[in-house]
Amino acid sequence: MQTIETSIPGILRVVPKRHSDPRGYFSEVFRDDLFRAGVADLAFIQDNMSLSREVGTIRGLHFQSEPKPQGKLVRCLAGAILDVAVDIRVGSPTFGRHVAVELTPENGEWLWIPVGFAHGFCTLVPDTVVLYKVTDYYSAAADKGVAFDDPDIGIAWPVEPAAAVLSDKDRRQPRLADLPTYFTHSA
């Protein structure tokens, strides 16, 4: 398993090893021991999966607040996504900045998103399936969000906001400037 740093410290691309042969390939896509040794000494206790039927479906930007914050390990099982993580840790030198990475079954990468970041993605092809492992259980009370099209974040989504397929919830998320302090940066 290879890890690749991104423009924001802490957010990592995680590339499992593939054993290719004329049939195709085999890959151990996740191993607890390798993740703990190479990324973070954390346990994943819930796996999530979503299907998005249309191109230009945007889910996010979401995070869970204390006492149920979630680290997320995200991969694309079918289709393709632009996966985005935004630093929402007040006091962070990269506060408000984001990482955007294309995840596909072909590149087989995970994106590791620690606690303190909002997460979202946009589908690039129809019938896209995303799997992600999380480090705490879902809590509706802790489920929070930031506006996907916040100009202060400035994500270059591959779809115009007006044309995006969104949940009602994601049409009315607050801007970053209006967000309470959920996370602070510890140097």
As measured in angstroms, the least distance from the Cβ of 109 to ligand T46 is: 16
Written as six digits, the tokens of 103 are 């995840």
User: By CB under 6 A, is residue 110 in contact with ligand T46?
Assistant: no
Q: Name the active-site residue from 19, 98, 119, 132.
A: 132
User: By CB under 6 A, is residue 50 in contact with ligand T46?
Assistant: yes
Whole-angstrom distance, CA of residue 90 vs CA of residue 109: 29
Nearest residue to the partner ligand T46, using Cβ: 138
Does residue 184 contact residue 95 with C-beta atoms inside 8 Å?
no
Whole-angstrom distance, CA of residue 8 vs CA of residue 95: 10
- Minimal CA–CA distance to 43: which of 118, 134, 173, 146? 134
Q: Is 182 marked active-site?
A: no
Written as six digits, the tokens of 86 are 């935004």
* Residue in 2, 27, 48, 107 binding ligand T46, rule: CB under 6 A: 48
* Interacting span for ligand T46 (CB under 6 A) from 19-27, 91-99, 114-122, 148-156: 114-122
Whole-angstrom distance, CA of residue 175 vs CA of residue 134: 24
Interacting residues of 33 by C-beta distance below 8 A, sequence separation 6+:
none
What single string gives the DSSP state of each residue in 43-69? ---EEEEEEE-STTBEEEEEEE-TTS-
Site string for ligand T46, 137-156 (x = CB under 6 A): -x------------------
User: By CB under 6 A, is residue 167 in contact with ligand T46?
Assistant: yes
User: By CB under 6 A, is residue 119 in contact with ligand T46?
Assistant: yes
For residues 66-105, which are near ligand T46 according to CB under 6 A?
A: 72
Q: Name the active-site residue from 62, 98, 119, 182.
A: 62
* Cβ nearer to ligand T46, comparing 53 with 169: 169
What are the Cα distances from residue 98, in Å, to 1, 61, 117?
Answer: 24, 11, 9
* Residue in 13, 62, 98, 144 binding ligand T46, rule: CB under 6 A: 62
- Using DSSP's 3-state secondary structure scheme, residue 79 falls into coil
Q: Is 62 marked active-site?
A: yes
Cite the active site residues.
62, 132
Which chain residues interact with ligand T46 by CB under 6 A? 48, 50, 59-60, 62, 72, 119-121, 138, 167, 169
